[in-house]
Amino acid sequence: MEITRVNGLKGEITVPGDKSISHRSIMMGAIADGDTEVTGFLMGQDCLSTIECFRKMGIEIDVSPDIVTVHGKGLHGLKEPAGILNVGNSGTTMRLISGILSGQPFTTTIDGDESIRKRPMRRIIEPLTRMGVKITSISNNGCAPLQVSGEYRLKGINYVSNVASAQVKSAVLFAGLYADSETTFTEPHLSRNHTEIMLKSFGVNIKTSGSTCTITPGDGLHGHKIYVPGDISSAAYFLVAGLITPDSEIVLKNVGVNPTRTGILTIAKKMGADIELINETNIDGRLSADIVVRSSELKGTTIKGDIIPFLIDELPVISVMAAFAKGKTVIKDARELKVKESDRIKYMVNNLNAMGAEAEGTEDGMIIHGGKPLHGAVIETANDHRIAMSMAVAGLGADGVTRIPDYKCVDISYPGFFNTLELLKH
Ligand code: S3P
């Protein structure tokens, strides 16, 4: 894929459905009683991996272009899969499914691609073991493949996590559905709360206070209709593209704006972005809005602390925004970037510098001296969808040609990304 400078991105687009919500709709639908009908589901590879895993455990899932129907079999309706469960590239699938498997009285092996086999799993092994599950890293390195021997009844725990992670929180809450008493989970900073919101809509008793939530096991989940808004993590690429290219005005339709996901909007505004939210709606506690974005003069800022979990997946494209801003941007408290689909600090710093930017990686983030003119380069994505899309955005504001050889990895979260980009060009 080759990207060149653009002058003026214009038009209205709808980004694909939210990845976090799509995964959860399949998982909770599978262990609910009755059918769950999902509209706006993200047909990206990660979410398709989740569908395949549940089909292997006997759940019928009908997929049509507009609607996905999950025929739930109740909390105890999953059957032992014939072979391993393959999560592909999806950390969300691996960690969340481990919580559900913890409550199934059979043994399962879960594995995935090369990237998944490097991602830390001790963070779920530890709390799930305390709940009474036998869960081991088969290679004994704290990573996949994992073997999970579940129990019909687990122990409720009070767990204090040292990492702010919605995936860890969700694994523990899912296991909590199978526990003999309440389970409480506390994290250092609140992470995205899609699991809590969706469990509530399935009829589960779950209470939250600050960065603590408590789940009380009850008589199960009740299938219903779920509407998935557009993914703000996918909208983020066009948001930044609109800001950094001259003479642009883009309307991003129907984007999920759950406050635990909108850190990028807060930071972009602080950097001087011209962004407006219109047509705000709330369906079942899921907020969405149309976002209007116009070309802006940006200035550097500091990004740290509580806001980090609210923009963790957007930091690669935020670092691109920083490279186009005047002055210095400092990103701190984002050590987690190193253990995503790739080491996102390393790859973003290397790629930005290859294009002529001045970026430096730190232990827990990056320092970017913005405003240097960028030129095309060959991008190394490490097969990480978010690196590929972030660097494509950088290419829109650079001289010469930016080449992304393994651009196909965008299909993990945003099939059609490059077609949508073409639609906005004039
Ligand atoms: C996700 C949580 C985040 C995020 C990931 C999706 C989720 O991961 O980076 O892309 O759907 O729960 P962590 O929980 O590891 O921070």
* Closest to 164 in 3D by CA, of 305, 362, 22: 305
Number of Cβ within a 10 Å radius of residue 350 = 17
Residue 185 tokens, joined? 């989970």
- Domain extent, residue 66, equals 19-227
Q: CA of 236: how far to CAs of 59, 316, 362, in Å?
A: 34, 10, 23
Distance CA 29, CA 354 (A): 45
Final residue belonging to a domain, choices 211, 227, 243? 227
Number of Cβ within a 10 Å radius of residue 210 = 9
25 and 9 part of one domain: no
Q: Kindly indicate the confidence band of residue 426, based on its pLDDT and cuts at 50, 70 and 90.
A: confident
Residue 140 Cα to ligand 1 middle (Å)? 24
Residue 172 Cα to ligand 1 middle (Å)? 14
163 and 216 part of one domain: yes
Q: Kindly indicate the confidence band of residue 252, based on its pLDDT and cuts at 50, 70 and 90.
A: very high
Chain segment 365-386, per-residue pLDDT in tens:
999 999 999 999 999 999 999 9
What is the pLDDT at residue 283?
A: 85
Ligand 1 mutation target, pool 121, 169, 192, 211, most atoms within 8 A of CB:
192
329 and 218 part of one domain: no
Average pLDDT, the chain: 97
Q: 303 by DSSP, 3-state: which?
A: strand
Chain segment 198-248, per-residue pLDDT in tens:
999 999 999 999 999 999 999 899 999 999 999 999 999 999 999 999 999
Residue 219 Cα to ligand 1 middle (Å)? 28
Angle between helix 344-354 and helix 385-396 axes, rounded to 10 deg: 20
Residue 313 Cα to ligand 1 middle (Å)? 8
Q: Is 312 in the pocket of ligand 1 (CB under 6 A)?
A: yes
219 and 251 part of one domain: no
Q: Residue 309 CA: which ligand 1 atom is closest? A: 16
Domain count, the chain: 2
Chain segment 133-159, per-residue pLDDT in tens:
999 999 999 999 999 999 889 999 999
407 and 284 part of one domain: yes
CATH code, 295:
3.65.10.10
125 and 12 part of one domain: no
Q: DSSP assignment of 99-166, as one string?
A: HHHTTSSSEEEEE--TTGGGS--HHHHHHHHHTT-EEEETTSSSSSSEEEE--SSB---EEE-SS--H
What is the pLDDT at residue 239?
A: 98
Q: Is 165 in the pocket of ligand 1 (CB under 6 A)?
A: yes
What is the pLDDT at residue 242?
A: 98
What is the pLDDT at residue 284?
A: 81
The answer to whether residue 108 scores a pLDDT higher than 90 is yes
Q: Kindly indicate the confidence band of residue 127, based on its pLDDT and cuts at 50, 70 and 90.
A: very high
135 and 257 part of one domain: no
Query: Phi, psi (5° rounding) for residue 280?
Result: -70, 135
Chain segment 286-338, per-residue pLDDT in tens:
899 999 999 999 999 999 999 999 999 999 999 999 999 999 999 999 999 99
Q: Kindly indicate the confidence band of residue 171, based on its pLDDT and cuts at 50, 70 and 90.
A: very high
Question: Mean pLDDT throughout 63-71?
Answer: 95
Question: Mean pLDDT throughout 68-88?
Answer: 97
Q: Kindly indicate the confidence band of residue 340, based on its pLDDT and cuts at 50, 70 and 90.
A: very high
- For residue 298, the Cα-to-chain-centroid distance in whole angstroms is 26
Q: Kindly indicate the confidence band of residue 281, based on its pLDDT and cuts at 50, 70 and 90.
A: very high
186 and 289 part of one domain: no
Chain segment 1-16, per-residue pLDDT in tens:
999 999 899 999 999 9
Residue 92 Cα to ligand 1 middle (Å)? 6
248 and 138 part of one domain: no
Residue nearest to atom 11 of ligand 1 (CA): 20
112 and 257 part of one domain: no
* Sequence-separated (6 or more) residues with CB below 8 Å from residue 258: 192, 193, 194, 197, 286, 287
Q: Is 313 in the pocket of ligand 1 (CB under 6 A)?
A: yes
Which residues are tagged catalytic? 313
Residue nearest to atom 4 of ligand 1 (CA): 313
Final residue belonging to a domain, choices 227, 245, 267? 227
What is the pLDDT at residue 274?
A: 98
Question: Mean pLDDT throughout 355-370?
Answer: 98
210 and 243 part of one domain: no
Q: 290 by DSSP, 3-state: which?
A: strand
Chain segment 13-40, per-residue pLDDT in tens:
999 999 999 999 999 999 999 999 999 9
Q: ω before 229 within 30° of 0 (cis)?
A: no
Q: Kindly indicate the confidence band of residue 339, based on its pLDDT and cuts at 50, 70 and 90.
A: very high
Final residue belonging to a domain, choices 180, 199, 227? 227
Q: Is 336 in the pocket of ligand 1 (CB under 6 A)?
A: yes
What kind and span of H or E run contains 88?
none
Residue 259 bridge partners (DSSP): none
